[in-house]
Amino acid sequence: MMDFHVMLTIGGFGGGLDAASALRYAALAGLRFVGLVLPSDGSNFFVLQTLSAEVRRLSLYANVEARTGVELRHVPPALLPSVVQEAREAGAEFVLVHGETLSDQVEPGTNFAAIEAGADILAHPGLLDEKAAAFAAERGVALEFVSAPRHALTNAHVAAMALQFGCMLVRGSSAGTVAEMTTRSFWPLIVKGADVFGKTDGKSNLMELLKNSENALFEKLMRR
């Protein structure tokens, strides 16, 4: 079981998760891999190299594989190509972009710009249109299937776009606190709730897509 979107708060202030805490609770949640994500507008990239090294060190003892990334939030679409590149150069091992979720006033065009910029994951992309879905499949950008209730309203739509256009689809909790982390046993229920797509040879098409996509992205991140 993998979760590519657990948010960190430097120092764990205000009830947020620091790296050690996130890894401990990820292990208790039954996760095999966790993507630890620093929310960013580009101004805090200076912490990434130290944070990435610390996450790798801690993960050796936490019984959970982990990598460190950023979630770019409300960066103007025109700036996303340069900011994604800056994040990678600063030490981000993967990059998410805060997509056009229904629960936030994200600037229109962010989804397409994030794909064009080469983000690894387009987080909670909301009512993703066909043009963006086809582009995500072409560019190898994963769409997020999210467990956070504030973002999950469009999970079935996002899954339908991924299945129709051949996009990668990966799970993320968008958790910022312990209470928001999704356990290994609860994830199948969330998937089942959005799985209206039938089965092939007795297997869920959606679950098969999630597993294949997550394994592919995991292998990609492990090689970096």
Element (H, E) at 200: strand 199-200
Confidence bin at 13 (pLDDT 50/70/90): low
Question: Residue 215's pLDDT is what?
Answer: 98
pTM: 0.96
Mean pLDDT of 134-160: 97
Confidence bin at 14 (pLDDT 50/70/90): low
* Total number of domains constituting the chain: 1
pLDDT tens, residue by residue, 94-124: 999 999 999 999 999 999 999 999 999 999 9
- Beta partners for residue 66, in sequence order: 34
Q: Residue 199 belongs to a domain with what CATH number?
A: 3.20.20.140
Element (H, E) at 143: strand 142-146
Question: Residue 184's pLDDT is what?
Answer: 96
User: By residue range, what is the domain housing residue 113?
Assistant: 2-223
Confidence bin at 16 (pLDDT 50/70/90): confident
Torsion (CA) 100, 103, 104, 105 in degrees, nearest 10: 80
End-to-end alpha carbon distance in the chain? 20
